[in-house]
Structure 1
Amino acid sequence: MRLPTLRRTRGAEPGTIIGTARLDRRTKRLVGRLRAGDLAVIDHVDIDRVAADALVAVGVGAVLNAKPSISGRYPNLGPQVLIEAGVLLLDDLGEGVFQNVREGDELRIEGNTVFLGDEPVAHGIRQDAESVAKSMVDAREGLSVQLEAFAANTMEYLKQERDLLLDGVGVPEVATQVAGRHCLIVVRGYDYKADLDVLRPYIREFKPVLIGVDGGADALVEAGYTPDMIIGDMDSVSDDVLRCGAEVIVHAYPDGRAPGLARMHQLGVPAITFPAAATSEDIAMLLADEKGASLIVAVGTHATLVEFLDKGRGGMASTFLTRLRIGGKLVDAKGVSRLYRQSISGSSLLLLVLSAIAAMAAAVAVSTVGKAYLAVVAEWWDNLMFQVQRLF
């Protein structure tokens, strides 16, 4: 992606960047307000790849992080994505950047310092490819601790949601007909756009139930589809998509609290709740399985250990158990695209066309009707050539 031209002051040092500040402590919420060239001020320990991809996609001029972008707990992928895309990453600025900067302020970045006018408001660490690579090596040394924590979280989740995992207790009743159909669950995660694109023939032929998980519902609409169901805490799906007519299921805490339900009431959109300790993508899979889906196809979801840890949340342990629960019914989108898509070479296609023409010619040549037809065509051709000769 081509990044926007960054503004520089006359006489300023090379590498000086000026831009409009946009602030939010939740990166995925901030992305919806960012414009090309803006300076994203975030509070995000261990920036994950999904967040980094979203920041790169909008064309931010720089990322100013109040917290360490790589804490050393595990080798998170986000900082490397930002650096490789040419986005300036100023790290570990501290709480002062949120206290001293307001939405819409014009900031100037010189070296490791952020200026508001001529006043320095924060100092940080300017990351580059070398520093990120070194931090990633150090982070891998702490991976064993994270693996132990992940295993502990998995066992804790199993205790909390044993009935849901084993017997489907707590899964709400839904109006959408799922039994016996394929379900396509879309999360705005890794490579979701490419996966949706290669799945177009599959969607056209099988007409699966389309389930968008939070921002995944917007991804479906952007790809030209209308979701049948929207599941999540409703913090990253647009108002227009929520009003598209899909059945809405709000992810609630285990005690029944559902902050996203208030938004549904404000929009006048009917919704039901699904209390669970799992992630939103996991409850979408569990619901599809419990309601009798014959196949569950996942787009943008988390499938590998690195992806589990890259979210930096203990709740990702639920994904591991959910995949064990669903078993062979769950297929990753990339696997479906490789199985379903058939590639025909140009030479094979040409040979097929020529074979068809040859077969038609042979049929015409040996049949009585074909011979009569050829005689008519030959006479028409002779008359045409006679008329051309008379002109000259």
Structure 2
Amino acid sequence: MSAAPPTVFGIARLGKRTKDLTKRLQPGDIAIIDHEDIDRVAAEALIERHPAAVLNVSASTSGRYPNAGPRILVDAGILLVDGLGDEVFEGVRDGQTLEVAGGEVLLEGDVIAHGTDQDDVTIAASLEIARAGLSEQLELFAENTMEYMLRERDLLLDGIGAPEVRTVLDGRPALIVVRGYHYKEDLATLRPFLRENRPIIIGVDGGADAVLEAGFRPDMIIGDMDSVSDRALRSGAELVVHAYRDGRAPGAERLEELGLGDEVVLFPASGTSEDIAMLLADEKGASVIVAVGTHGTLEEFLDKGRAGMSSTFLTRLRIGSKLVDAKGVSRLYRQRISTFQLVLLALAGFAALAVALWATPGGQALVQILGARLDALLSWFTLLFSPRATGS
């Protein structure tokens, strides 16, 4: 007999954009999202908030490519139900208490939506189908590479189109931070590099908040400004808005509303914001470019919802050996020595020092003097707490 599906109760929190919803999720809430192909970064951000369940009105794996998000959520013990349909957003208000059982969503005892309760079996089947879609993505990659190269050849080859900025990068190392895979661990591992080299820190959209959370301040923020906090925008960093090729820049409107419009620099270019950040750093003479959290593989690029990774591919060819990808450096240099082992090592060192001292006449005299002092200290301590005789 199979086990009954789990029943989960929680407060509904709705958000069309997962990265915005995670900012207000509380442990035990039920997150309602509209996120086709849940990516690794979104899944890890949800897990950090410890929701009781994640309800997705779209397909968590559409079949376009084998995304890792659903597997990560289920492995973390979070109930995942997808394919619920848009009526969930229409029938549920933020703050209402929901019940989720067997793929059904209930409000005050009435079933308002039914979806697929994801588990190991359903996820494995979805990923198997999705792997067949990679061939189509590779074809799109080849097409987009040629298209991007022709459209941005002046920027790629000669740097024409890169704007003038006040931040001086010439001869300085640059650290480009994207809120991507393992960015927190890698930033922590790079602390010695930051202290010793004091690079120009460039935050790409939400990467600016990652820099602030790590205890540093960005010198420049590049992106369309849709996922960076007001706090980061007001941190004093130079603001470079990634605009469309025709000059339209929706992100500039937000900065105008914040009173930061006079400080805006526009960078019209196609491709991703992290790519133009690398191209700008290279064009302005950065001695080395260290990238944290950037996207370099087909799966990572598709996680960002792109049809191909041509801009990233060509950008890395353009920069060449100047680019140092710090992705996964925290896993490469993960500490493998426990505290207990360090204590044993220290005790062994003290024992070796004592043996070395005892082997010399001077060392023996020092040990005898220390022994006498210790004996005197113990005698004083014993007399201090011993009972005193009283007169009759």
Shorter-chain TM-score range: 0.7 to 0.9
**Does structure 1 residue 327 correspond to structure 2 residue 336?**
no
**Does structure 1 residue 139 correspond to structure 2 residue 130?**
yes
**1:302, distance to aligned residue in structure 2 (A):** 1.0
1:301-339 per-residue CA deviation (whole Å, 9 max, x = no partner) reads 112222223323126431111111111111111476689
Match of 1:50 among 30, 41, 44: 41
Greater shift, 220-229 or 304-313, is seen at: 304-313
Closer/same/farther in 2, CA of residues 360 and 324 from structure 1, 3 Å limit:
farther
**Does structure 1 residue 222 correspond to structure 2 residue 183?**
no
Report the AA paired with residue 165 of structure 1: L
Match of 1:242 among 230, 233, 250: 233
**1:98, distance to aligned residue in structure 2 (A):** 2.1
**Does structure 1 residue 260 correspond to structure 2 residue 260?**
no
Greater shift, 332-341 or 15-24, is seen at: 332-341
Distance 1:135 1:342 in 2: 36
Distance 1:119 1:343 in 2: 53
**Does structure 1 residue 96 correspond to structure 2 residue 87?**
yes
Structure 1 spans left out of the alignment, 5+ residues: 1-12, 366-373
Query: Percent of pairs identical after alignment?
Result: 60
**1:353, distance to aligned residue in structure 2 (A):** 8.7
- Aligned residue runs from structure 1 range 227-376, under 5 A: 227-269=218-260, 270-314=263-307, 316-334=309-327
Structure 2 spans left out of the alignment, 5+ residues: 384-392
1:207-262 per-residue CA deviation (whole Å, 9 max, x = no partner) reads 11111111111111111111111111111111112111111111111111111111
Closer/same/farther in 2, CA of residues 350 and 231 from structure 1, 3 Å limit:
farther
**Does structure 1 residue 170 correspond to structure 2 residue 161?**
yes
Closer/same/farther in 2, CA of residues 65 and 334 from structure 1, 3 Å limit:
closer
Report the AA paired with residue 31 of structure 1: T
Report the AA paired with residue 34 of structure 1: L
> Aligned to 2:221, what secondary structure does the other structure show?
strand
**1:19, distance to aligned residue in structure 2 (A):** 1.9
**1:184, distance to aligned residue in structure 2 (A):** 0.8
Number of residue pairs aligned between Structure 1 and Structure 2: 368
**1:132, distance to aligned residue in structure 2 (A):** 0.3
Contact 1:25/1:43, CA 8 A, preserved across alignment: yes
Distance 1:174 1:354 in 2: 60
Contact 1:279/1:316, CA 8 A, preserved across alignment: no
1:203 corresponds in structure 2 to 194
**Does structure 1 residue 71 correspond to structure 2 residue 40?**
no
> Aligned to 2:94, what secondary structure does the other structure show?
coil
Distance 1:17 1:312 in 2: 31
Q: CA RMSD in A?
A: 3.3
Closer/same/farther in 2, CA of residues 177 and 98 from structure 1, 3 Å limit:
same
**1:104, distance to aligned residue in structure 2 (A):** 2.5
Distance 1:84 1:341 in 2: 23
**1:25, distance to aligned residue in structure 2 (A):** 2.1
Greater shift, 323-332 or 310-319, is seen at: 310-319
Distance 1:161 1:303 in 2: 19
2:179 corresponds in structure 1 to 188
Distance 1:208 1:360 in 2: 47
1:368 corresponds in structure 2 to none
Distance 2:259 2:355 in 1: 64
1:53-111 per-residue CA deviation (whole Å, 9 max, x = no partner) reads 11111112211111111111111111111111111111111122222223233222121
Distance 1:334 1:268 in 2: 35
Distance 1:343 1:54 in 2: 26
2:387 corresponds in structure 1 to none
Contact 2:162/2:267, CA 8 A, preserved across alignment: yes
Report the AA paired with residue 221 of structure 1: L
Distance 2:209 2:177 in 1: 10
Report the AA paired with residue 288 of structure 2: L
> Aligned to 2:163, what secondary structure does the other structure show?
coil
Which of structure 1's runs of 4+ aligned residues deviate more than 3 A? 334-362
Contact 1:189/1:301, CA 8 A, preserved across alignment: yes
Distance 2:234 2:200 in 1: 18
Q: Report the TM-score when normalising by structure 2.
A: 0.83
2:390 corresponds in structure 1 to none
Closer/same/farther in 2, CA of residues 177 and 355 from structure 1, 3 Å limit:
farther
> Aligned to 1:308, what secondary structure does the other structure show?
helix
Report the AA paired with residue 307 of structure 2: G
**1:343, distance to aligned residue in structure 2 (A):** 9.2
Greater shift, 187-196 or 104-113, is seen at: 104-113
Q: Report the TM-score when normalising by structure 1.
A: 0.83
